[in-house]
Amino acid sequence: AQKITQTQPGMFVQEKEAVTLDCTYDTSDPSYGLFWYKQPSSGEMIFLIYQGSYDQQNATEGRYSLNFQKARKSANLVISASQLGDSAMYFCAMREEDSSYKLIFGSGTRLLVRP
């Protein structure tokens, strides 16, 4: 069964520094996708980045990159040059082909960027 684990309930980072948010997953399906979403205090869910299980390279989107280690089943989000506006809740999610494209989320990590 698919499972997503985020072990960091909360994290602090100094403005302009990089931060890594951890995500591990469990699946027996060779075909899956991994997503990261940001939820600011206003409540909306904002898509950040996607990594497919067959992608050879780590995904990058601006200041966001995904450190995908398939053998370890981890998909950590790296935010470079943190900004105050990065303070938010961050969710890792997974979608499997075998489970008819069910999309499940981890418990989230609350990131606070300090000035």
Residue 61 Cβ vs another protein, minimum distance, rounded to whole Å: 11
> Could you give the 3-state DSSP secondary structure of residue 84?
helix
d(CA 25, CA 90): 15
Which residue ranges make up the site for another protein (CB under 8 A)? 31-33, 35, 37, 43-45, 47, 50, 52-53, 91, 93, 95, 97, 99-108
The H or E element that residue 66 is part of is strand 64-69
Which token pair is 102?
């069910």
Residue 6 Cβ vs another protein, minimum distance, rounded to whole Å: 9
Report the residue number, 87 or 95, with the smaller CB distance to another protein.
95
Nearest to 105 by CA among 4, 2, 1: 4
Residue 40 Cβ vs another protein, minimum distance, rounded to whole Å: 13
Report the residue number, 103 or 112, with the smaller CB distance to another protein.
103
